[in-house]
Chains A and B, each alone.
Chain A
């Protein structure tokens, strides 16, 4: 409960003089430096004062380049907006919000530092006092939680000779869902028998508005006969609704799978769940450590994907260290 200690003057001076930046030379910059070196040699060798003048201009441009790029990276504020959904080995939209209090920013390239996420987002111009959202198409190589340590902001402003990078320390985690693909195997038989508060799965009724009428096939549920229309038509007619035959599947991930086999199974389960949920069915998931109750809709799809993404990374899950259980759904 004491006031934060201010760093000593020498430390602040050192931080001001040597800000944490990394500098790399671009391809154009390499050529530029070689030519500058050549002009310098020529000036020293011949004593041609015009070459000295040219050398001075070239070196000054290097200094100006450093100053302008530093000004471009100062007073910058970056926060993560994040992604709606990130699937492995598939580009996904990721966003950062960037702003500056004063001064313009140019040619900013943003990326995640020290992470396996590939791809960057770029911003041509950042006016002062405005927060702009930078979108990037990133790609993650594999499923699971990706620990994010900071956002890397790079600029080649003003001349494209050097790329100066500043890393903004921002802790975070991105959960990468299993890769979306095709399920080679059928999900198996639907559940039968009463489940919880739902009735018999044999009495599955459609949901939504009435879509039409058709003749009742043998073995179909007689409770769905439209009696008035059947009486008028003289044959048994069945009501068809928007979503028909909603059934319940319980997908299961076998215990003991590791490595590629685990990855393939997770991808297959994700594909099956996606397919079934898309058809309006209820899907549950049984994992070695916990179980998701069957449910339908986009929310369930997200829960299944999250659960599959965490498989094998349970130690890194929030609450894993203090022993609190992660909510299953």
Chain B
């Protein structure tokens, strides 16, 4: 058997790896499947085919794996799509490790194709597109090399370089064709929604909300730059940095170690109204990404209404109801990697006079203190407030004190039995939870109702909306002001409220997010509506803005028409230059044109020619017969043949000179024949 080309096998294995990657980027495949395939890929790239001699054993192992996957599927531990994709990965691994023959090659490519299709069902990430293109390119190269390799005789080298050039152009056309098909093929269903972001590889939920907030530990989340939330605001604030509080929930009970809520689950509805609405609500269309990892809805401070939620599960997109919990928390009833919902918040200037209706138990907890609260806490509060009776003023005094005398740090090693006293009197340094807890408890010791709020602080501008990162997770305080309701106060130093991640990392991720957002808008969420708008734009360009209509109208074409014409002209010029520079092409074409003109002259002069008689044959015949035209035709034919096949192009004006000579010879021949014809025609006329 002919030894297969190593490069082809490497390309085949890499194509299978790219196809597996298209599934793996979803983060839903089991770890053992990832490990098995990666190990197989590494071994295959090292040309180690472990199951080449144990085909039956490996088939048996595949059968066992299929049974195990089936059991997991029936027990509900695994999704059907995930199970199918995992099994496809195992089959591909088995084929890659077997003897590389044509059957194994075909089956590897087939499973690769199935894995890519499975990846489309699992993931909506942009990395899927990269894996898809990588698979298309690598598999095409491998297939093409296999086709040529099969036709090359034994012992002869496979012309790899010669194959790559036309094939790379073909693959580029295929990618362009795929994009064109994607854009133009009509979507037959208006309600189509593609898969949303899957959790991704290594994407542990980093900003999830739990039922408690426990003081202590390092604040590692502040350095996490992953985006957890995207929001589009209406009306758009049009600020680069939103610097707003995105509240998730509040806590009313503190036991000295952790914050909890006294109230539990309450009503479930499609939309929960927390506060009475006003006419000027701030609308938010929020998308919670897989990195968020929780079920709590987030909204700008102060939320009024939340709902119309859609859960993007691995098996599809479903509408989800929401449930109200204590502390104003609203949760999705469905568990999914990502969600989309709508929220309405009170505008910053219109928050007075609106208060959240609290249960009696919740109201009672707003002044509750831990049983074993250090007495120095109350003494400190009394000393700082110095008899202040107005809640908001008291809060501001405490904030000024905390920000002046306490430092912000994320390095908090070890656990303390009384973390609040440890923060206030020992370390005098902490992160947002310490500052917020301290402010809340200090206020409560002096009879001011307050509670802890958690969520995010920030919001960076991106592609017309705002993104919030995991590092923007934050805690602050709500102080109850009579007549105004809860007012947000924050003791954390302002410079440490937002994400503390590396600036470079944030910039890179912002760029990725921008591209990802384009990907989602242009590809994942592409719909018939987009197609319709695209067609409308092409057929009827967008109208000018109102102010433009008042200006003087011009009859000249718009600027884009000029630009398009210039671009087309440039392309035509470049193509013309390229064609003109092709070696050997121009002389041949010139010689052929010359031959056409000679043929045309001969045809006009009615020179007798046999059917399919070439110019060479005609000249040879005339020379043999001593025809007068041979004198003109012989040098002409010789120059044509030299120009056409001998690499000696016709000089400038030479063609005209030869044609003129031929024309004169044809005229002389015609003149010579004319008297003969007259002589022959005379008697005939008389006879008639």
A4 to B176, CA, bound (A): 44
Report the count of interface residues on B (CB-CB < 8 A): 69
1/0 contact trace for B158-172 toward A, CB 8 Å? Answer: 110011011100110
For B105, the closest partner residue in chain A by CB is A28
How close is A2's CB to chain B, nearest CB, in angstroms? 7
Closest to B612 in A: A4
A217 contacts the other chain (Cβ, under 8 Å)? no
> Known contacts being A57-B178, A124-B151, is A44 close to B188, with CB within 8 Å?
yes
Counting CB contacts under 8 A, is B611 at the interface? Answer: yes
Distance in Å: Cβ of B110 to nearest Cβ of chain A: 6
Q: What mask results when residues 100 to 119 of chain B are scored 1 for a CB within 8 Å of chain A, else 0?
A: 00000010011001101101
The reply to whether the CB of A60 lies closer than 8 angstroms to some CB of chain B is yes
The answer, among B151, B185, B612, for a CB contact under 8 Å with A123, is B151
- Cβ–Cβ < 8 Å partners of A53 in chain B: 120, 129, 132, 178, 182, 523
Q: A49-B182, A50-B524 are in contact. Are A158 and B174 (CB under 8 A)?
A: no
A252 CB contacts on chain B under 8 angstroms? none
The smallest C-beta distance from B563 to any residue of chain A, in angstroms, reads 29
Q: B179 — nearest CB in chain A belongs to which residue?
A: A56
Q: Across the interface, do B110 and A31 meet the contact criterion of CB distance under 8 Å? A: yes
Q: Is the CB of A107 within 8 A of B147?
A: yes
Majority secondary structure of chain A interface residues (helix, strand, loop or mixed): helix
- A60 contacts B110, C-beta separation under 8 Å: no
Instruction: Looking at the assembled complex, report how far the CB atom of A314 sits from the nearest CB atom of chain B, in whole angstroms.
Output: 32
The number of chain A residues with a CB under 8 A from chain B is 52
Chain A residue numbers with a CB within 8 Å of B151 are 106-109, 122-124
Q: Contact between B116 and A60 (Cβ–Cβ < 8 Å)?
A: no
B173 close to A (CB within 8 Å) = yes
Which residues 590-616 in B have Cβ within 8 Å of A in the complex? 599, 603, 608-612
A63 to B178 CA separation, bound complex (whole angstroms): 11
Contacts of A232 in B (CB 8 A): none
With a CB–CB cut-off of 8 A, which chain A residues contact B609? Answer: 1-3
**Interface contact B166-A50, CB-CB below 8 Å:** no
Interface string of A14-45 (1 = CB under 8 A from B): 00000000000001100110010011001010
Beyond the given pairs A47-B194, A50-B120, A64-B174, 19 more chain A to chain B contacts, judged by CB atoms under 8 angstroms and listed by A's residue number, are A1-B609, A35-B114, A47-B192, A49-B525, A50-B119, A50-B128, A50-B129, A50-B132, A50-B523, A56-B177, A60-B181, A61-B136, A64-B173, A106-B166, A123-B151, A125-B163, A156-B147, A158-B166, A158-B167
Chain A: residues with CB nearer than 8 A to chain B?
Answer: 1-4, 27-28, 31-32, 35, 38-39, 42, 44, 46-61, 63-65, 67-68, 71, 102-104, 106-109, 122-125, 127, 156-160
A-B residue pairs in contact (CB < 8 Å), sample of 28:
A2-B609, A3-B611, A28-B106, A49-B182, A49-B194, A49-B523, A50-B119, A50-B124, A50-B194, A50-B195, A51-B121, A53-B129, A53-B178, A53-B523, A54-B117, A54-B132, A60-B174, A60-B176, A60-B181, A67-B170, A68-B170, A106-B162, A124-B156, A125-B163, A127-B162, A157-B144, A157-B147, A158-B143
- The interface of chain B, by Cβ under 8 A from chain A, is 106, 109-110, 113-114, 116-117, 119-121, 123-124, 128-129, 132, 136, 140, 143-144, 146-153, 156, 158-159, 162-163, 165-167, 170-171, 173-182, 185, 187-189, 191-195, 316, 523-526, 585, 599, 603, 608-612
